[in-house]
């Protein structure tokens, strides 16, 4: 079942669009998360942790990008990612989500 896709915004920028399975809607849940590309995810994680901010360990996601997660003060999730040579954003192809 296809539940999302990438919109190519030029260069290395993409917008991920996912279908939301819940039927509810409120002003408080318009943004699920946003994502920032980093050149070196290990260095980014170390830097963030050195500032006392909680960050998840690095994980290779189903789209073949490395990712780690933090949250802003309001609880909005922020995904940090590092592309790989196999990243779906550039390589294309269908992927199976492992959430």
Q: Which of 13, 10, 20 is nearest to 36 (CA)?
A: 13
pTM beyond 0.75: the answer is no
Mean pLDDT across the chain, nearest whole number? 79
Whole-angstrom distance, CA of residue 77 vs CA of residue 70: 6
Domain boundaries, the chain: 33-94
**What is the pLDDT, as a whole number, of residue 78?**
87
Q: What is the DSSP string of 19-83?
A: --------GGGS--EEEEE-S-HHHHHHHHHHTT---PPPEE-TTS-EEEEEE-TT--EEEEEE-
The CA radius of gyration of the chain, in Å to the nearest whole number, is 14
Q: Which of 40, 47, 21 is nearest to 32 (CA)?
A: 21
The CATH architecture to which 33-94 belongs is Roll (3.10)
**What is the pLDDT, as a whole number, of residue 11?**
75
Q: Give 1's DSSP letter.
A: -
**What is the pLDDT, as a whole number, of residue 80?**
92
Query: 60-94, pLDDT tens digit by residue?
Result: 987 889 999 999 887 878 899 998 998 877 777 66
């Amino acid at each position: 079942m296809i539940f999302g896709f990438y919109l190519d915004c030029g260069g290395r920028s993409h917008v991920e669009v996912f279908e939301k399975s819940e039927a509810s809607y409120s002003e408080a849940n318009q943004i699920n998360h946003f994502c920032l590309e980093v050149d070196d995810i290990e260095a980014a994680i170390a830097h963030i942790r050195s500032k006392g901010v909680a960050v998840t360990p690095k994980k290779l996601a189903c789209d073949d990008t490395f990712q780690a997660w933090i949250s802003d003060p309001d609880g909005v999730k922020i995904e940090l990612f590092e592309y790989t040579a196999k990243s779906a954003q550039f390589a294309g192809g269908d992927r199976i989500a492992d959430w």
